[in-house]
Amino acid sequence: LDYIPTWCYKNVFASIKKIRHIKVPILFLSGAQDELVPSQMMQKLHEESTSLKKQFIIFSDGQHNTTWLSHNYSDQIYRFLHECSTSFETTSSVN
């Protein structure tokens, strides 16, 4: 099987529908080798997101439980948070 049919599990997460309502900045981190949440699914979430500040980063060696060990993982989070905080400070000082 390439996937698990929805009738096989109780928890159905309607992520595509929900992501459209999130307006805060979103950083999508994905492992190319993720066996539970394929990077294509994460890319689709990124595309469907209506957030004005969003970024999608894929780690070529990342698996579901080990992506956080990938080179530059923490640096990417830091950069995104820094960009968001700098943007927030600029916006706040204008208002």
Please report, for the chain, the start and end positions of each structural domain, with discontinuous segments joined by +: 25-94
Using a pLDDT cut of 70, give the percent of the chain over it. Answer: 78
Yes or no: say if 61 and 30 are a contact pair by the CB < 8 Å rule.
Answer: no
The stretches in the chain having pLDDT less than 70 are: 1-13, 88-95
- The pLDDT, as a whole number, for residue 14 is 85
Q: H-helix or E-strand containing 86?
A: helix 73-94
